Amino acid sequence: MSQTVPEARDPLSPTTITPAQLKRERLRFSDFKFTRTPSGQCSCEVELEWVDGVRVVGKASGQSSPMGDLRISADAALRALETFSGSALQFELVGVKLLRAFDANVVIVSVNVKKGEGPPRLLGCYLAEHDAVRGTVVAVLNATNRVLGNFIATR
């Protein structure tokens, strides 16, 4: 006996969502670009993909430095999440820390939820062995995962 799943409409896309896509209730981290200029500026672009190829991009730029690069990449990830939610979610980066723990590099981020349901403060981490800047984006996504999941489930 086969079971049919009613088709749903994604408000971000004019096309129909398939039953397989309904199972994926997460944004996918699809692209990351980080550039530094000779003048000491850097820019970061984070692209997230939703069902049916819908993509959102978050951008941030500023003065390059070891910790500044991490903050800028975290900020770009937060801007992408805010763009996806249509500003229904708003976040503020409290801080980013790169630590050496258990012979590995770990990135930890602290984020305030300024607008949206859930706890007011979030914490995320990621084992960033090779690229701490990109790892910071994943730490932000880990921190905001539950808030974003609740947002997706209730929209």
Non-local CB neighbours of 42 within 8 Å, separated by 6+ positions: 34, 35, 36, 61, 62, 63, 64, 68, 69, 72
Q: 20-77: per-residue pLDDT in tens?
A: 444 456 788 999 999 999 999 999 999 999 887 889 999 999 999 999 999 999 999 9
| Beta carbons of 81 and 91 less than 8 angstroms apart | yes
How confident is residue 155, by pLDDT bands cut at 50, 70 and 90?
confident
Q: Please give the Cα distance from 91 to 117 (Å, whole number).
A: 11
- Domains in the chain, please, with CATH? 8-154 (3.30.160.270)
Q: Is 152 exposed, middle or buried (0-12, 13-18, 19+ CB in 10 A)?
A: middle
Confidence (pTM)? 0.81
Task: Name which residue leads in pLDDT, 85 or 12.
Answer: 85
Predicted confidence at residue 133, as pLDDT, reads 95
pLDDT greater than 80 at residue 110: yes
Chain Cα centroid distance, residue 12 = 17
